[in-house]
Chain A
Amino acid sequence: MDRLVSLPAMGPQMKGMNMKKKFWLVLAAALALVAGAALPALADNQISGRVKLFSSLYLTDNLNGQYLTHKAGEFGLRRLELRFSLAGNVSDKVSYSLRADGFASPDSLSLADNAGLFPEASSLGTPQGSEPFELVLYEASVKVSDFLLKNLDLTVGKQRISWGTADKMNVVDNLNPVDLANFFSFDPDYFAERRPQTALNLEYYLSETTKLQLVWLLERQYSPLPKGFATLLAGAGMAGTVHLESQEPLLKNTSFGLRFSTALGKMDLGLSYYSGNFHLPVMLGLAWSPTGTDLGLYFGYPGQQVFGLDLAGEVAGVGLWAEAAYVVPERWQGFLKMPVIINGELMTINQTFPVFERGFTRFVLGADTTLAIGSGVYLNVQYLRGLFDESSHASLYRQTFLVQKGMFFGELEDYVMGRAEYKFLRGDLKLELSSLLELADGKSAWVFMPGLEYRVSDALALQAGTFWAAGNETGTKFGQFKKDRLAYFAFKVSF
């Protein structure tokens, strides 16, 4: 218990994060300056980016929702994004790449509670209240080819390292945590998107298709959570103080990954290992004060080792892939501390139990093909066991905290996902229907996400679509969004 600190005590950590942010901004500025100074000398520096306006509108009332409350016709997330990328080759063997993302109105859940009562600006004109804006150094890395050895590449910096062969639902892709903050934006660009991490990435190419990769992540991996996450916990009937197990910045607390990939005939094969931590918080315990008036909710990010296998190939022209990840969680103890009156005497129950009893497996199987109808209908189907937030907990833990299938951070569930695409006008107009079927202990939920994208020109694309959930509202994860049906549109300009 003495390892636990309450959230308000995270001041120094937050300060550290600000320092880190400042460091990255300084690094970005320095890189930009270096690149800028070198621009006349090096012809191969390229600036690119995009401006995107995303806006969603609720189609249904949800006046007492667990996660979201709104009326039909009310705007959901409205956000303007600016992506700025700079990349170039410093020499034949050294290249760099950085991406900074700026977001206006960046509240992913529209909880808009950070603005003042009035749209006030500071005396220096900093428009905190009137024009909220967030800047993120999304990626910044330098790559050195043939580093020390021929065929050995080193990439240093904040980077996305993609592992696995499945479509988006990669169970072995564990070096970069899922961006859960944007998961609920219902913007398809951010569906199960993974955030770049600061790492040293060594890739040794044994042949044109065989690679050995070693990645050292300088810090633990944490999924960004939706703004108002603690409010959501309170909304779930667990009002209290949230405490988080702190992680000391020790060398032993850093993460690493190892992967071997190759092609065997018509099949690509990957074997991987990740030693790090759960990317999403795991509830460890509940503790009431002796009087029973105050409740403490304790969370942490246990360690995990993940042994992965991924395959991709084809049978009879149909693309097939499979991924399996065997997760070995760190043995953590959960606890329940609550006062009870026994024979008129106030006593405290102090119960402990394992959070995880044994390892568990997430896996995904998928196939894709193009049907010869018109210009070709692309079909993609996947069966997934275990979404990124789900685990297999110890039975006593499940009973105590009522953890089950059909809830976020719950037990492993089964999903069937499908996607169909049809392109018109030489690909300028794309119709897409994505769907997800959630199967949770006799209950089920559907999500339909029809959408269309029209490329007006190379630089300009318009997108529109809907998020439409159906099925059991209780006992399923996605059925809870039945009253949060929405339509969205996006306007993207690339430069």
Chain B
Amino acid sequence: MNKKSIIIGSGLILLLLCLFQAPLRGQTAEEILKKVDAAMSGAAAAKDLESLMTMTITSASGGVKSRKLRVWSRTVPGQDSQRLMKFLSPADVRDIGFLTLADEQMYLYLPEFRRIRRIASNNKTENFVGSDFSYEDLSAAAFSRSYSPGLSAQDEKTWTLDLERKPGADKQYKKIRLIVSKEALLPLRMELHDNAGNLVKVADQENGRSGKYWVPTLIRMKDVKAGSSTELAMSDIKTDQGLGEEVFSQRNLQKRAQ
């Protein structure tokens, strides 16, 4: 093997290595965020999902409250995901329902008044039924529509993205630091910053397998300032049952959950 052949061979190997590594090294923050969106509520997510959710609210002083909900969600190609949540217990919140048809179309059903209330954007920052989640936190809108990402770090298992709210986007948080699992393509941690740039909430997420999909199994939202936290634990997860649009309707919002 002459010198020329060695140089050409080495060059080819280098070229192959570069080509092989390109998808990883060259992945832009935008591409990563789109993959996260796809895994959360897009093409890579379950077409629909039903689960039992246990909401545990822990106050700053250590007081604990527990609520049970049933949750249904559905991905809609090219649109925001739809989601329906119905409270099963305790008695004072039983049958309260929350329906998200789109990021700008949310309804709350109050059985006490037999009334469905539309939630305007400015009211989405309110806490959802005394939890540390706001209505907006519980919506299933894609990040990439409202945020511009920057890749700030990565290691073997995670990417760290810094999301900046796009001008004109009607979103509660100005900045989000998102730590994403490379395996599940789902968030592991979200650090949420208010308009002044202060860290206000931190959400830690655990993901697990349900059939062929990665799904969140536990989300723990901590209010940094108040010191309270709310944990959402999902169980009895069922995917791809063929849930139709009739499930995500005002009719079903008023129905008594079983």
Contact = CB atoms under 8 A, between A and B. Distances in A.
A312 B118 contact: yes
Contacts of A494: 90-92
A361 to B, nearest CB: 23
Contacts of A88: 256
B94 A48 contact: yes
Interface in B58-85: 59, 65
B250 A211 contact: yes
Query: Majority SS of interface residues in chain A?
Result: strand
A57 B127 CA distance: 34
Interface stretch (B18-26, B184-192, B241-249): B241-249
A376 B126 contact: yes
A317 B57 contact: no
Contacts of B131: 426
Interface in A298-329: 312-314, 317-320
A74 interface: no
Interface in A184-233: 203, 205, 207-209, 211
A209 B92 contact: no
A203 B59 CA distance: 42
B120 A151 contact: no
B51 to A, nearest CB: 19
A317 B170 contact: yes
A426 B130 contact: yes
Contacts of B258: 44, 89
B118 A268 contact: yes
Contacts of A165: 118
Contact of A209 (B101, B113, B132): B101
B256 A97 contact: yes
A375 B125 CA distance: 9
A426 B256 contact: no
A429 B190 CA distance: 28
Nearest to A205: B251
Interface stretch (A60-68, A365-373, A400-408): A365-373
A432 to B, nearest CB: 14
Interface in B199-235: 223, 226, 228
B120 A319 contact: yes
* Range, interface on chain A: 35 or more
Nearest to B172: A372
A209 B246 CA distance: 10
A208 B113 contact: no
A205 B127 contact: no
B119 interface: yes
A376 B90 CA distance: 25
B104 A162 contact: no
A211 B120 contact: no
Given A161-B114, A208-B245, A209-B250, A318 B59 contact: no
Contacts of A427: 127, 129-130
Contact of A319 (B92, B105, B114, B118): B118
A317 B122 CA distance: 5
A266 B105 contact: yes
B152 interface: no
Interface in A75-112: 87-89, 95, 97
Contacts of B59: 425-426, 428
B105 A370 contact: no
Contacts of B101: 208-209
Given A44-B258, A208-B101, A428-B59, A369 B91 contact: no
A113 interface: no
A88 B256 CA distance: 8
A317 B121 contact: yes
Contact of A151 (B92, B121, B125, B246): B246
A209 B120 contact: no
Contacts of B28: none
Interface in B84-143: 90-94, 101, 104-105, 113-115, 118-123, 125-127, 129-132
B10 interface: no
A369 B120 contact: yes
A209 B94 CA distance: 23
A319 B57 contact: no
B57 to A, nearest CB: 7
A119 B93 CA distance: 40
A272 to B, nearest CB: 15
> Which residue among B127, B194, B246, B250 has the maximum number of chain A CB atoms within 10 Å of its CB?
B250
Nearest to B223: A426
A208 B120 contact: no
Nearest to B132: A426
Contact of A95 (B93, B228, B256): B256
A268 B101 CA distance: 13
A46 interface: yes
A494 B94 CA distance: 11
Contact of B249 (A48, A50, A205, A378): A205
B154 interface: no
A156 interface: no
A211 B118 contact: no
Nearest to B134: A376
Interface string A418-437: 00000101111000000000
Contacts of B248: 208
A71 interface: no
Given A375-B127, A376-B126, A208 B170 contact: no
A208 B248 CA distance: 7
Interface in A373-426: 375-376, 378, 423, 425-426
A263 interface: yes
Contacts of A319: 118-120, 122-123
A211 B107 CA distance: 15
Given A162-B115, A376-B126, 4 more contacts: A207-B249, A369-B120, A423-B127, A459-B92
7 contacts: A151-B246, A205-B249, A208-B250, A314-B118, A314-B120, A369-B123, A426-B228
